[in-house]
Amino acid sequence: MVGQHVSSASATPGTGAHAKQRSIKCVVWDLDNTLWDGVLLEDGEVSLRSDAVDVLRALDRRGILHSIASKNEPAVAMTKLEQFGLSEYFLSPQINWNSKSASIAEIARSINIGLDTLAFIDDQAFEREEVAFSLPQVLCIDAKEIPAVLNMPEMNPRFITEDSQKRRLMYLSDIARDKVEKAFVGPGEAFLATLDMVFTLSEAREEDLQRAEELTARTHQLNTTGYSYSYEELNEFRQSDTHKLFIAGLDDRYGTYGKIGLTLLECHEDVWVIKLLLMSCRVMSRGVGTIILHHIMRLAKEAGVRLRAEFVANNRNRMMYVTYKFGGFKEIEADGDALILENDLSTIQSFPDYLTVRIENSCGDEDYAG
């Protein structure tokens, strides 16, 4: 399902819908004669390309991540990157003698992003062609074009949010958590309890809308419909009497995950419909995916309305269908590409006991401690 926009404060995509602009989340760099001039293992000394470093740092400020796919000796190459003061920019660097396509696939797996959100920069036509053949979703760029990268539409998010400016640091925090988790001996929930997580849920404010738009544009896997909405459309929903827009954040003892979830409700007199439910892939393993859903179920029951949800399947979001099914939603009809599910609200699970849930509203904050 191609992501869509609506043209007014209706949560159903209309005839004015259009495809999402492709958005690059991570740029994968070759090293020799790409990030630097020269071949490290042959020349010994290499010099950084100033235009490449300028692009690297500018994209980092825009919230675009970086990694490496280079055929080199890993220890030698990483030492050189450390000498240049650049090693901290690269997540899951793949410096080895494998094919570039294998390295890029491993980067996507490690960072947990889609191949269609990756760009690959290399000076060798053979390497670019190998990647293009094996991974046609990846955007391949000739190193000669590095000066033009900053002007590419795919590299220009509409907004640079607080979350996007911190994105690399948040991923580095994720890596630190993952290392601790791998060393932890015991059940998964016992590890989660050690994180001191605080999940915050509130109705979206105007200052949340840039990040909310970014979430709809960037989140594909854990997205129930694949719809995307602009800042202006989300602001209409925020002020609408017939919609509710919720945004979620997550923090733990390692730092913040930022704003990681969004839900759009269409509210009629006797029935509410969840038109969009999404969660960042970065929190997939933290067991927080159902918290928004259970909060909405509580609100619907208190309001005395039926609760339905819309689900549009694509090749990446089955986990969200499973989330609905585990939450007690049952299919009742199909409406075009969408499945309509309903929950009878007879069973609403409590929040997980390994975290604190903070509900922020106009009546004050409510904490539900695990």
Beta bridge partners of 355: 197
Residue 36 is which amino acid?
W
Whether 193 is covered by a domain: the verdict is yes
The average confidence (pLDDT) of the chain is 89
pLDDT of residue 282: 78
CATH of the domain at 336: 3.40.630.30
**pLDDT tens-digit map of 47-104:** 999 999 999 999 999 999 999 999 999 999 999 999 999 999 999 999 999 999 999 9
Domain shared by 112 and 144, yes or no: yes
Q: Is residue 17 part of a domain?
A: no
**pLDDT score of 335:** 81
Backbone angles phi, psi at 322, to 5 degrees: -60, -40
Residue 5 lies in a domain: no
Closest by Cα among 117, 162, 129 to 20: 117
Torsion sign across C-alpha atoms 200, 201, 205, 209: positive
If pLDDT is split at 50, 70 and 90, which confidence band does 304 have? very high
So what's the pLDDT on residue 1?
29
Residues 111 and 75 in one domain: yes
pLDDT at position 112 is 84
Beta partners for residue 246, in sequence order? 203, 263
Residues 112 and 195 in one domain: no
**Residue 67 near residue 26 (C-beta atoms within 8 A):** yes
Same domain? 133 vs 205: no
What's the pLDDT at 16? 29
pLDDT of residue 168: 92
Greatest C-alpha distance within the chain: 74
pLDDT at 288: 85
Which of 131, 155, 179 lies at the terminal end of a domain, its last residue? 155
- In single-letter form, the type of residue at position 286 comes to R
Q: Of 140, 155, 170, at which residue does a domain stop?
A: 155
- Looking at the fold, whether 228 and 353 belong to one and the same domain comes out as yes
Q: Domain of 84?
A: 26-155
**The CATH number of the domain where 31 resides is what?**
3.40.50.1000
**Together in a domain, 290 and 174:** yes
Rounded mean pLDDT of 102-126? 95
Based on the structure, what is the number of domains in the chain?
2
Give the C-alpha distances (Å, rounded to integers) separating 79 from 31, 83, 88.
13, 6, 12
- pLDDT confidence of 362, banded at 50, 70, 90? low
pLDDT in tens, 185-219: 988 889 999 999 999 999 999 999 999 998 888 77
Least confident of 79-88, 124-133, 320-329: 320-329
Asked whether 292 and 246 are in contact (CB, 8 A), the reply is yes
CA dist 87 and 82 (Å) reads 5
Neighbours of 14 (CB within 10 A): 11
Confidence band, pLDDT 50/70/90 cuts, at residue 14: very low
**One domain for residues 175 and 291:** yes
Q: What is the reported pTM?
A: 0.73
Q: In the structure, what pLDDT confidence band is assigned to residue 290 with cuts at 50, 70 and 90? A: confident
Is the predicted pLDDT of residue 333 greater than 50, yes or no?
yes
Say if 15 falls within a structural domain: no
125 shares its domain with 82: yes
- Backbone angles phi and psi of 32, in degrees to 5: -60, 125
Q: Given this model, what pLDDT does residue 201 score?
A: 95
List, in sequence order, every residue forming a beta bridge with 369; answer none if it has no partner: 356
Residues 213 and 351 in one domain: yes
* Residue 286 or residue 356, greater confidence: 356
- The answer to whether residue 6 is domain-embedded is no
**Residue 96 in domain:** yes
Question: How much is the pLDDT for 364?
Answer: 52
Provide the phi-psi class of 256: left if phi over 0, else alpha when psi is between -120 and 50, else beta: beta
The residue with greater pLDDT, 361 or 50, is 50
Contact 272, 306 (CB under 8 A): yes
The last residue of a domain, from among 139, 155, 171: 155
Residue 3 maps to a domain: no
Q: Are residues 144 and 248 in the same domain?
A: no
